[in-house]
């Protein structure tokens, strides 16, 4: 009795080639799935950014409307009359001043006398730099 069934030597490389192909297909599928998930993530980020841009546009539009309302001449006029008590001037006159009067006014300069207190003598920096000078 002879053993009729025998293994071929080429059978083992076929099985290893099958495993390599299967692993390659699996890695490619995993890579494509990862790319798809990353694409969804980017799409989500883009939609969030577009939403923020739209909210900023609406806020900018509201602020520009408020700005134009605040600068309207009618509002300024009514605020000046009601809140500040301003009225229209009735007797408007123009006064013309000669240049010689201006030159005389500039030539006469009177020094301002400073009041010195006890704290001025203690602090040596008070006379050197003062807000009035």
pLDDT 10s digits, 83-93: 898 888 888 88
> Tokens 């408007």 — which residue?
92
Terminal alpha carbon distance of the chain: 128
Q: Which ranges in 71-98 belong to alpha helices (H)? A: 73-82
Helix then strand then coil, in percent of the chain rounded to 5, is 65, 0, 35
pLDDT 10s digits, 60-96: 999 999 998 888 888 888 888 898 988 888 888 887 7
């Amino acid at each position: 009795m002879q053993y009729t069934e025998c293994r071929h030597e080429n059978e083992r490389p076929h099985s290893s080639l099958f495993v390599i192909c299967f692993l390659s297909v699996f890695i490619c599928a995993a890579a494509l799935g990862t790319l798809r998930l990353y694409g969804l993530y980017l799409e989500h980020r883009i939609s969030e950014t577009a939403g923020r841009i739209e909210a900023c546009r609406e806020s900018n539009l509201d602020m520009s409307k408020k700005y134009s309302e605040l600068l309207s001449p009618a509002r300024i006029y009514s605020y000046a009359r009601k809140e500040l008590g301003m009225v229209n001037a009735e007797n408007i006159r123009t006064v013309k001043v000669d240049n010689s009067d201006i030159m005389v006014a500039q030539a006469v300069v009177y020094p301002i006398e400073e009041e010195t207190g006890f704290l001025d003598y203690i602090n040596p920096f008070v006379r050197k730099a003062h807000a009035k000078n």
